[in-house]
Amino acid sequence: MKKVWIYLENGIFLEGKSFGSIGTKVGEIVFNTSMTGYQEIITDPSYAGQFVTFTMPEIGNVGVNEEDMESVSAYAKGIIVRNYQKRFSNFRGKESLDELLKRYDVMGICDIDTRFLTKVLRDSGNQMMIASTEINDKEELKKILESSPRIEEINYIKEVSTKKSYIHNQGIYDARVFSYNPAPPSKAKIVAIDFGVKRNILNNLCEAGLEVEVIPQDFDEKDLIKRYENKEIDGIFLSNGPGDPLILKDIHEKIKKLIEAKIPMFGICLGHQLLSISHGYPTFKLKFGHHGGNHPVRNEKTKKVEITAQNHNYNVPQEISQIAEITHKNLFDNTIEGLKYKNTPIFSVQHHPEASPGPHDSRYIFKEFVDMILEHRNRS
C-alpha cells in the first residue's frame, strides 16, 4: 500500500495508507454510521463528490458482488476506514473491494483513526478535504484545496444521471433464492426522473405494481405534461441524488410546471428537497448531515417509530407546514422526514424506504404512491 496524505479545510493533516485508486482528489468529507452495506453506500450516486468515513472499523471483509450494486458505477471521491480487509470471506463475495474501487476510480484510505475523524466532523461539521498519494506537503495540499470548487458549486446530477431513457422491470432481491423477483403485473405507469437514482428504489417501485420508465435529468416538462394529459403516464417519481439542490435552478422551474399540472408525484431525498424548493421553501444545510442505517423516524399518522436509512446534508424548513402536512419526523433532531402537500396529489420523504434497515419498516411508502395514483386516476 502507498502512503496517502489527508488535509481538511480546518487544518487537520493526517497520514494513512491507500488502496483502490491513487492520485489526488478533492471532495467533501462526511461520516456514515451504518454497520453493514459498504458496497451499497459506495455505489449510491448520492455520494458523488464526497469522501465517506465509515464508523464501522472493519471494511472489505465480505468482498463485493454484482447484486449489491446500487448503480452502474461508484461515484464517491473516496472512502476512509480504520481497517481494510483485502482478503474477503463470504459465499456471495466475487471480488475484493480494492478491485471495485480501482475499476471506478474511487480512492480508499485506511489506517486512519476514524473515531477521531468522526468526532471532528460531529463538532466542526462537514467540510472540504483533499487526499493525495502524490503530494505530502501540507501547504501545497492546502493551496490546491483552497483553489478547488466546493461541492455546493458543482452540479453532479449531470454526471450520475442516465444519458437515455430505459424501462426498469425488475422487482426486489429475494435472499432466499439469491435472485431478483420479476416485476408483478403493473397497475399504473410512471416516469422516474433520474437525478442519481438507486437501483433498489426502482426495484421497489416495480414490486409495488408500477411500470417504470427512467428518464434523464434534462427532461422536457412540457412533454411529460402532454403524456400525462394523454393518459400515457399516471405519475412521476423524483429520485435521490447528490449535491446542493439550491443550485439546480432549471430543475426548480420544470418541477413548478409539473406541480401546476397536478400530476401525482412522489419524491425521495433530493426529490423531496426539490419539491420543497419548487413550492417556494428553500432548503438549508445541516451541520454534519444524516448518513447511516439507524435513524429513528416517527410516522406522525400512526405514531409508530421506523428505523430508517438516510443520506443527506440538506433539509426542508419547518415553515413548509403552511402548505403541507408533516407526515414523518426525525427523532434525533426533530427535522422533517416526510410531507404530504395540501390539495395536490404530491408527497415525499427525506429518508430511504428502499434501504430496509428495519428491515421493512418504511416499504409501505411505495404502496402509498400506487394507492394515490389509482385514487387520483379514478377521480379524473
The band of 107, judged by pLDDT with boundaries at 50, 70 and 90, is: very high
pLDDT at 379 over 90: no
- In tens, the pLDDT along 316-353 reads 999 999 999 999 999 999 999 999 999 999 999 999 99
C-alpha of 4 from chain center: 27
pLDDT for the residue 357: 76
pLDDT for the residue 319: 98
- In tens, the pLDDT along 177-223 reads 778 888 899 999 999 999 999 999 999 999 999 999 999 999 999 99
Pairwise CA distance, residues 68 & 296, whole Å: 24
Q: Please state which CATH number belongs to domain 3-151.
A: 3.50.30.20
The domain limits of the chain are 3-151, 157-379
pLDDT for the residue 180: 87
Pairwise CA distance, residues 168 & 194, whole Å: 12
Pairwise CA distance, residues 292 & 54, whole Å: 9
Which CATH architecture group holds 157-379?
3-Layer(aba) Sandwich (3.40)
In the chain, what is the straight-line distance between the N-terminal and C-terminal CA atoms, in Å? 63
Cis preceding-peptide flag for 264 (omega within 30 of 0): no
- In tens, the pLDDT along 37-80 reads 999 999 999 999 999 999 999 999 999 999 999 999 999 999 99
The band of 360, judged by pLDDT with boundaries at 50, 70 and 90, is: confident
43 grid coordinates: 455505489
- CA 379 → CA 211, 257, 298, 325, 373, distances in Å? 21, 21, 31, 22, 10
* Beta carbons of 121 and 53 less than 8 angstroms apart: yes
DSSP 79: E
Look at the block and give the residue holding cell 439507524: 294
Provide Rg for the chain, Cα atoms: 21
Q: Which residues are catalytic?
A: 269, 352, 354
Mean pLDDT of 215-240: 98
The band of 272, judged by pLDDT with boundaries at 50, 70 and 90, is: very high
pTM recorded for the entire structure: 0.97
Percent of the residues in the chain that have a pLDDT greater than 90, as a whole number: 94
